[in-house]
């Protein structure tokens, strides 16, 4: 990442926090997060947004923990008929960055939508002061935002582990009966297919269930309230900018870590094959 690109993203991130602070400050003097005992909506919003950013950064670190799990599960699932190794061919997409966090954002939103109406969640994440106001009927939207503090980190961890493996060139090769290679695919790309599929389809069903639940639980909630969630993936992507910077800064360390872990698991053969550049991000 160039210095110019880095500054543009960081300025975008800080500008977004400032705009959100002003917008939420005009909404009311009462905070909405149960675990923040001070401040108004503007302060609560900025704290939640910063915590979401921290969650994304932590998720990148947690992705390292998932790497050996992914490698082990991949070897077990793909079976003994395949040869595992690594290639020096650069299979990493050059587009990794801000746009790559679109599907992690969808997965995080999906997870939050699934837990909003879990018994006890409202009292745990939404402040009693907010629930006593006229805005209390919109508490599911508030709870969804607060839950993102946890779910963004989980989603980024799941995706970043696949990114690390993909960037490290860890592949598996299928062979025919004579032992000749017939297919070579990156293990990270294999995981990315599942993760993207779940994030894209899961969030649709979760959003549908959320809308049905929110409309049936309170007749005072206007039908347009759930539409507030449409820009949420972009918001999460902006808040993940510090994680994007971390990914870029630690790229070589990620590759070294994954390859060291792969060698410990017996994946140490260098496979000199022509591997097409993966479109997975």
Q: Band of the pLDDT at 277, cuts 50, 70, 90?
A: very low
Maximum mean pLDDT: which of 6-20, 21-35, 125-139, 231-245: 231-245
Phi, psi of 244, rounded to the nearest 5 degrees: -60, -45
Calculate the CA 126 to chain-centre distance: 23
Q: At what angle do helices 232-239 and 41-78 cross, to 10 degrees?
A: 90
Angstrom distance (rounded) from CA 166 to CA 160 = 10
Four-point Cα dihedral 31, 36, 38, 42, nearest 10: -40
Residue 82 bridge partners (DSSP):
174
Q: For residue 269, give the H/E element and its range.
A: strand 269-270
- Mean pLDDT over the full length of the chain: 84
CA quadruple 93, 95, 96, 100: dihedral sign: negative
How many other C-beta atoms are found inside a 10 Å radius of the C-beta of residue 95? 10
pLDDT tens across 40-83, in order? 888 888 899 999 999 999 999 999 999 999 999 988 888 767 78
Maximum mean pLDDT: which of 111-115, 217-221, 270-274: 111-115
Position of tokens 């630690």? Answer: 250
Percent of the chain residues topping a pLDDT of 90 = 40
Token representation of residue 146: 């607060």
Angstrom distance (rounded) from CA 263 to CA 266 = 5
pTM over 0.95: no
pLDDT on residue 71: 93
Q: Band of the pLDDT at 181, cuts 50, 70, 90?
A: low
Contacts 24+ apart (CB under 8 A), 271-275: 271/83, 271/85, 271/86, 271/87, 271/171, 271/173, 271/184, 272/87, 272/88, 273/87, 273/89, 273/171, 273/173, 273/181, 273/184, 274/89, 275/87, 275/89, 275/91, 275/169, 275/171, 275/184, 275/186
Q: Band of the pLDDT at 218, cuts 50, 70, 90?
A: low
Contact criterion met (CB below 8 Å) for 86 and 170: yes
pLDDT on residue 60: 95
Position of tokens 């759930």? Answer: 226
Q: Band of the pLDDT at 3, cuts 50, 70, 90?
A: low
Among the listed residues 23, 157, 183, the one whose alpha carbon sits nearest the alpha carbon of residue 101: 157
148 or 132, which is more confident: 148
Position of tokens 């994946």? Answer: 267
Mean pLDDT (whole number) for 151-173? 93
pLDDT tens across 19-35, in order? 877 777 676 678 889 99
pLDDT on residue 82: 79
Q: Band of the pLDDT at 15, cuts 50, 70, 90?
A: confident
């Amino acid at each position: 990442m160039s210095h110019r690109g880095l500054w543009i993203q960081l300025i975008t991130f800080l500008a977004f926090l400032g705009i959100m602070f002003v917008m939420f400050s005009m909404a009311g003097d009462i905070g909405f997060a149960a675990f923040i005992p001070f401040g108004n909506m503007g302060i609560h919003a900025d704290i939640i947004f910063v915590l979401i950013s921290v969650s994304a950064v932590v998720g990148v670190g947690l992705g390292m923990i998932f790497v050996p799990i992914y490698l082990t599960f991949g070897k077990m699932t793909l079976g003994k008929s395949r040869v595992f190794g690594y290639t020096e061919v650069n299979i990493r997409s050059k587009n990794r960055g801000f746009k790559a966090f679109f599907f992690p954002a969808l997965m995080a939103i999906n997870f939050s939508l699934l837990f909003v109406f879990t018994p006890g969640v409202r009292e745990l994440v939404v402040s009693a002061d907010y629930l006593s106001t006229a805005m209390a009927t919109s508490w599911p939207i508030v709870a969804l935002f607060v839950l993102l503090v946890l779910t963004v980190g989980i989603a980024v961890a799941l995706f970043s582990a696949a990114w690390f493996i993909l960037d490290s060139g860890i592949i598996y090769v299928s062979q025919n009966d004579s032992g000749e290679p017939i297919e070579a695919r990156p293990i990270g790309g294999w995981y990315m297919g599942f993760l993207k599929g779940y994030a894209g389809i899961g969030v649709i069903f979760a959003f549908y269930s959320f809308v049905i639940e929110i409309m049936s639980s309170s007749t005072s909630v206007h039908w347009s309230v759930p539409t507030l969630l449409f820009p949420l993936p972009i918001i999460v992507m902006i808040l993940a900018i510090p994680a994007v910077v971390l990914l870029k800064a630690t790229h070589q360390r990620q590759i070294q870590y994954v390859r060291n872990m792969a060698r410990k698991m017996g994946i140490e053969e260098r496979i000199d094959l022509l591997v097409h550049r993966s479109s997975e991000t």
